[in-house]
């Protein structure tokens, strides 16, 4: 298989890793050297031409070919079967409404969060249980890291120039979660969006770091849980206050509590919107209106 990328030789594995650092091909963590054999295994698995263009990645406007995507996926530690998920996430981020150029260059510490839903969650082995946003699962970590390396190496999303985020957050290294269909009392996220139940779908949202809410779902009635959630959402100084996208992730106990009270997912959204209000007096103290 013929590749367009230049091949660099290194004396050993350690030298190859250090060379990647020297060339600024890594975001700060070590990478797996993308050998031609490893890249070829991914391209062969995809059954697509290495030179096929998936899109142009802002802000550097680098050309994301199948070959370049495969290289970054190898560097992130992806198995070949992870790569279609990475490509789907990239295609979603390249849509105009995602505003990737803005996400890559903003002062706001928002990073693309990939949410996987559908059958591949189980077949690939994404973690949906304890520590769902944390460490310990190769699929979650490698897919999230591959997305970041693509934004880094192809899109040029380097800190300082052009990325102006003032504080940043750990999600810039890897930010990928999966929906737990087994404990979800409502329709899955991808079905809600209009896809078939047997589809595997990647939803991408540029969002800040997770903030934990202690809702007391195991002992409180549903109306109290909703009130605590809403008060935690409507916090002065948070990005939620200025509008925009927000991701609310419910643990199985909270979701079951609300569902058992007869609330649909749409009902929960409506109640949270109603309850998550801020007084004009408080808003004026923040000089927001």
User: Of the candidates 57, 162, 165, 54, which has an alpha carbon nearest to the alpha carbon of residue 111?
Assistant: 165
Contact 64, 89 (CB under 8 A): no
Copy the structure tokens of residue 270.
């409506």
Q: How far is CA 25 from CA 4, 154, 164, in A?
A: 17, 10, 19
Contact 208, 94 (CB under 8 A): no
Contact 126, 79 (CB under 8 A): no
Residue 242 pLDDT grade (very low, low, confident, very high; cuts 50, 70, 90): low
Decide: helix, strand or coil at residue 178: strand
The confidence score (pLDDT) of residue 286 equals 64
User: Of the candidates 138, 19, 15, which has an alpha carbon nearest to the alpha carbon of residue 81?
Assistant: 138
User: Of the candidates 226, 137, 138, 121, which has an alpha carbon nearest to the alpha carbon of residue 182?
Assistant: 121
Copy the structure tokens of residue 176.
């990928």
The confidence score (pLDDT) of residue 287 equals 62
User: Of the candidates 50, 46, 20, which has an alpha carbon nearest to the alpha carbon of residue 34?
Assistant: 20
Phi/psi of residue 203, nearest 5 degrees: -105, 130
Give per-residue pLDDT as tens, 96-125. Answer: 999 999 999 999 999 999 999 999 999 999
Local structure of residue 239 (DSSP, 8 states)? G
Burial 9-41 (b: 16+ CB within 10 A, else e): eeeeeeebbeebeeeebbbeeebbbbeeebbbb
What is the CA angle 38-59-36, rounded to 5?
A: 10
- Interhelix angle 138-153/83-93, rounded to 10 degrees, is 50
What share of the chain in percent tops pLDDT 70?
A: 97
Copy the structure tokens of residue 276.
């998550």
Phi/psi of residue 201, nearest 5 degrees: -130, 145
Q: What HEC string does 261-272 produce?
A: CCCCHHHHHHHH
Through-space distance between the first and last CA atoms of the chain, rounded to whole angstroms: 60
The confidence score (pLDDT) of residue 53 equals 98
Give per-residue pLDDT as tens, 140-187. Answer: 999 999 999 999 999 999 999 889 988 999 999 999 999 999 999 999
What share of the chain in percent tops pLDDT 90?
A: 86
Phi/psi of residue 28, nearest 5 degrees: 125, -25
Contact 88, 45 (CB under 8 A): no
Q: What is the pTM of this model?
A: 0.94
Residue 218 pLDDT grade (very low, low, confident, very high; cuts 50, 70, 90): confident
CB proximity list for 281: less than 8 A, separation 6 or greater: none
Distance CA 43, CA 47 (A): 6
The confidence score (pLDDT) of residue 235 equals 83
């Amino acid at each position: 298989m013929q590749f367009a990328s230049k091949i660099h030789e290194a004396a050993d594995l350690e030298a190859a890793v250090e060379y990647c650092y020297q060339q600024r091909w890594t975001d700060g963590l070590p990478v797996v050297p993308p050998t031609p054999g490893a890249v070829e295994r991914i391209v062969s698995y995809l059954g697509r031409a290495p030179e096929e263009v998936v899109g142009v990645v802002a802000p550097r406007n680098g050309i994301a070919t199948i070959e370049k995507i495969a290289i970054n996926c190898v560097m992130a530690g992806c198995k070949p079967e992870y790569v279609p998920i990475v490509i789907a996430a990239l295609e979603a981020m390249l849509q105009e409404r995602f505003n990737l150029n803005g996400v890559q260059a903003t002062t706001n510490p928002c990073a693309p969060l990939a949410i996987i839903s559908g059958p591949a969650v189980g077949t690939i082995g994404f973690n949906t249980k304890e520590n769902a946003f944390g460490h310990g699962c190769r699929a979650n970590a490698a897919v999230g890291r591959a997305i970041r390396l693509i934004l880094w190496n192809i899109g040029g999303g380097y800190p300082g120039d052009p990325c102006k985020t003032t504080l940043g957050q750990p999600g810039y290294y890897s930010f990928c979660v999966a929906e737990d269909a087994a404990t979800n009392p409502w329709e899955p996220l991808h079905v809600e969006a209009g896809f078939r139940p047997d589809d595997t779908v990647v939803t991408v949202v540029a969002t800040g770091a997770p903030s934990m809410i202690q809702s007391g779902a195991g002992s409180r009635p549903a109306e109290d849980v909703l009130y605590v959630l809403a008060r935690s959402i409507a916090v002065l100084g948070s990005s939620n206050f200025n509008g925009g996208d927000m991701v609310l992730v419910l643990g199985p106990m909270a979701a079951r509590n609300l569902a058992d009270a007869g609330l649909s997912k749409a009902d929960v959204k409506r109640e949270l919107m109603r309850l998550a209000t801020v007084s004009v007096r408080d808003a004026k103290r923040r000089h927001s209106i």
